[in-house]
């Protein structure tokens, strides 16, 4: 999932790496969080500004949006 505006310098990328079924609902148990540079002229490895893994989607989105706001203010 991408969050942010493609025209901004950075975007938030989140990928659900693992999930488990609770009742009839799939719940994320490992989420990859990345702040990526949107510049198409740099390599993929250079695009990743920050990265971490979180145990649920809420925590992933929370840290991701905090990081994104900080990077966009620089």
Which ranges of 1-74 would DSSP assign to H, the alpha helix?
44-47, 57-73
Query: What pLDDT score does 39 carry?
Result: 97
Cα(25)–Cα(51) distance, integer angstroms: 27
- Encode pLDDT of 1-25 as tens digits: 999 999 999 999 999 999 999 999 9
Q: pTM of this prediction?
A: 0.91
Domain boundaries, the chain: 2-73
- Encode pLDDT of 23-46 as tens digits: 999 999 999 999 999 999 999 999
Query: What pLDDT score does 22 carry?
Result: 94
How large is the average pLDDT for residues 43-65? 97
């Amino acid at each position: 999932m991408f969050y942010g505006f493609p025209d901004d310098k950075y975007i938030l990328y989140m990928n659900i790496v693992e999930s488990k079924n609770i009742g009839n609902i799939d719940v994320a148990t490992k989420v990859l969080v990345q702040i990526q540079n949107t510049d198409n002229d740099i390599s993929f490895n250079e695009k990743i500004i920050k990265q971490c893994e979180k145990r649920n989607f809420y925590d992933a989105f929370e840290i991701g949006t905090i990081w994104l706001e900080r990077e966009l203010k620089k």
